[in-house]
Each structure stands twice: as structure tokens, then as C-alpha cells.
Amino acid sequence: MYSVCVSTPERLIEATRELLWERGYVGTSPKAILQRAGAGQGSMYHHFTGKPDLALAAIRRTAEELRATAEAVLGGPGTPYERVEAYLRREREVLRGCPVGRLTMDPDVVASDALRAPVDETLDWLRERLAGIVEEGQGLGEFGPALDGEEIAATIVATVQGGYVLARASGSTAAFDAGVRGLLSLLAPRSPAAGNSPIPNKA
């Protein structure tokens, strides 16, 4: 339950975010939201038009947070490879799954253009951001010129999202970690002195 110092709309949004991550849209009932938020009965309809409106606010907040978290790493210091590596290795709650990626498996979210839009926009942004970093690395000679930035970006996103699924299925982060190591070994920077031979990944 949230502190009464936090505004009721904020408590409702944060509670809905958590419940969507844990239970999905159908499992997130208005009653469960009110209980988690510590809000009075009827407060949802005082601040929002209903569950879909509140869910949209929650999904937008989650999408914004994912972008900010990813950008903090992708826009940070280091070479293009080091920034991609930092993104792949950043701390995650792997066994809970991706709070945005899991929404793509929720039929009620996918069926709604409004609810799906923040998810699509965020994943599109992530692919574009990663593609730009790969192309930046190609300009510096860090990545091979034959690589397609958009395809590599899609592979990175697929590795992360697929890694979440495999980790949850096995109850272990090992599959996620293995996917990250494998992808990083394929992307390892090329050494001009070694005739474009890949540098072993020592991370």
C-alpha cells in the first residue's frame, strides 16, 4: 500500500502498472487496483473514465520508464559496442519478464489500438536507437560494414525479449545470460591490426 502523501491518481497509476506486470489486463480488476493503491471506492472513476483509461496511463508510464532506462545506458559513455554491451548486461528483473514486452502477449492489450500504441512506439524507438548505434560503430570501424543496423537492432531486441521468455519458462536466468553472451560474442569489435578478425569478448 502506498503512502497517503502520494496523490491518489499517482497511487492508482503505480498500482495498475504493478498489477499489469504481475497479472495482465484481465487479471487486473478495479477492486485489486484500489486495494493495491490504498484508494477509496469510486476514486478510480473520479480521476479516470474507467479501467481502460487508467490502464492506458499506466502503460504509457511504463513505456516512458523503459525508454528512460534504456537511454541512460545507450546514451552513456563508451564506444558503440560498449554501450550495446551495457544495455544487454544492465540489471533486470529477468524472472518477472519485461514490463513492456509482456504486454505484447496480453490479448486484451493487443486487441486495443489505444493500449497497444505505447508498446509499439517504445519497441520501435528502441530498435531505431540501437540501429543508430550500430551504424555509428560501423562509421568508426568497430562493426563490420556488411552488417545491417536495423537487422542487428531487431536481433538485440529479440534476444532480450526471448531471453525473458526462456528464463521464466526455466525459472532460471541462465538462458537469458547465455543469449546475451552469445550475441555479444557475435558483435565483438573487429581489430584492424588482425585483419578484421574479431576480438575475443573478455567481459
Average pLDDT along the chain, 203 residues, taken 10 residues at a time = 72 96 92 93 88 96 96 97 97 93 92 96 98 96 94 97 96 97 91 45 39
Bridge-based pairing of strands 197-198 and 190-191 is antiparallel
What is the pLDDT at residue 42? Answer: 85
**Burial annotation 122-155 (CB, 10 A radius, 16+ → b, else e):** bbeebbebbbebbbebbeeebbeeebebeebbbb
20 with 55: CB under 8 angstroms?
yes
Q: Which three three-digit cell numbers place residue 162?
A: 526471448
What is the pLDDT at residue 203? Answer: 38
Residue with grid cell 541462465, as numbered in its chain: 174
What is the pLDDT at residue 170? Answer: 96
What is the pLDDT at residue 190? Answer: 66
pTM metric for this prediction? 0.86
What is the pLDDT at residue 4? Answer: 52
Which amino acid appears at position 54 of this protein?
L
